Amino acid sequence: MRITEVECHPVRVPGVSPPFVWRDGLLGSPSEGEAAVLRIRTDEGVQGVAMSPRRGSGVILADLLDRVLRKELVGQDPLQREWLWHRMWELDRTEELPLYLLGLVDTALWDLAGRLADRPTWQMLGGYRTSIPAYASTVTYSSIEEYLDIADQALELGYPAIKLHAWGDARRDARLSVALREHVGDDIPLMFDGSAGFDLPDAIHLGRALSDADYLWYEEPMREFSVTAYKRLADAVAVPLLVAETSDGAHMNSADFIQAGAATFGVRASTQLRGGFTGAMRTAHLADAYRLRAEVHGPEIPNRHLCMAISNTTYYESLVMGNPISRESGIDAHGLVHAPTGPGVALPAGLDYPPALQAFVDKETVTPPRA
Ligand SMILES: [Mg+2]
């Protein structure tokens, strides 16, 4: 089988309504924009698709296809995923590919493999489970009182665990974290995501509060450039650290965090930021070798597949936004998300796709892209 064509299909993605905010300093929910779907066609009629949900992806992907990727991919065997994954890293050396596009070809090839076998991609990766608990991952709210109300709603909806994205003010965030623990009691797993809002002294201050309040993990408190800073944080706080979500280099970078003793809970795994399914699975297996977790990052459909294929992951990340919040499509009243059943990966439902892409849209759930 040979690849005969690679195409970029722009897809309009609406803004989130109502809009939400992240910590101080970060942009909030994206407004309407143009995402992109990569479509790979073959001489045997089998096809694969992958979506880059980031607004602006359409222009960048179309340019990359025209200048670099089409001549690289056409004529290749689409089942040689490993070879093509290594080719992407070679191309990255001169192109400095956006991290969220580096794994897009790999994701489309895994979609194609699933469609060829008429199996969901998580089974092709090596199925581990058929359902997993989802945690409520909050956006940033305006007050401690509102967070406590959101927590009550999340538990009422069936979510068994809660992760905070707070303000990026270490002292205020510490007060919130302690108040939430007191509010929900000792038995609800709580996590904190710093979205890289702190320097080392502030990260230590907040980390000590999270340690005292028995948080399950402390995620990305600083930009993930200095492994040394993370090692010093790990030495200073008891709460386990979950790191290497947004850093470049996939498993090669995650390895340095682990080797330094900085990934005391584990590392992040996602198709978007770890180089597609191939990079995410490598990262998970690396963490497994050290008896660490590889927690799947982000609520998109490819990450549902990863959740079913990675043994050493605990939860699916489900974003809750607005007030009142609602349960994400496809999560049941017990807070479980179930394994996709259709072939391949599938594109998220609910978007205005061109006719050529309709056959690839998920038939089960509506999970609009959030990035
Ligand atoms: Mg995060």
* SS3 label, residue 366: coil
What is the model's pLDDT at position 363?
A: 82
Convert the pLDDT of each residue in 21-80 to its tens digit. 999 999 999 999 999 999 999 999 999 999 999 999 999 999 999 999 999 999 999 999
In the DSSP assignment, the letter for residue 65 is: I
Q: Is residue 236 classed as helix, strand or coil in its secondary structure?
A: helix
Sign of CA dihedral 226, 231, 235, 240: positive
**Centre of ligand 1 from the C-alpha of residue 254, in Å:** 15
Instruction: Give residue for tokens 């459909």.
Output: 301
In this prediction, residue 124 carries a pLDDT of: 97
- Going from the Cα of 273 to the center of ligand 1, the distance in angstroms, rounded, reads 11
H or E segment at 103?
none
Total residues found in the chain within this entry: 371
Tens digit of each residue's pLDDT (9 = 90 or more) over 128-171: 999 999 999 999 999 999 999 999 999 999 999 999 999 999 99
Distance CA 93, CA 87 (A): 10
What mean pLDDT value characterizes the chain?
Answer: 96
Work out the number of other CB atoms within 10 angstroms of the CB of residue 332.
12
Name the pLDDT band for 367 (thresholds 50, 70, 90).
low
Separation of 174 CA from ligand 1 center, angstroms? 18
| CA 244 – ligand 1 centroid, Å | 9
Helix (H, G, I), strand (E, B) or coil at 140: strand
As given in the structure block, the two tokens for residue 20 are: 């939400």
- Of 64, 20, 13, the C-alpha closest to 35 is 13
| Ligand 1 center from residue 320 Cα (angstroms) | 14
Q: Which pTM value belongs to this model?
A: 0.96
Where on the phi/psi map is residue 238: left (φ > 0), alpha (ψ -120 to 50), or beta?
alpha
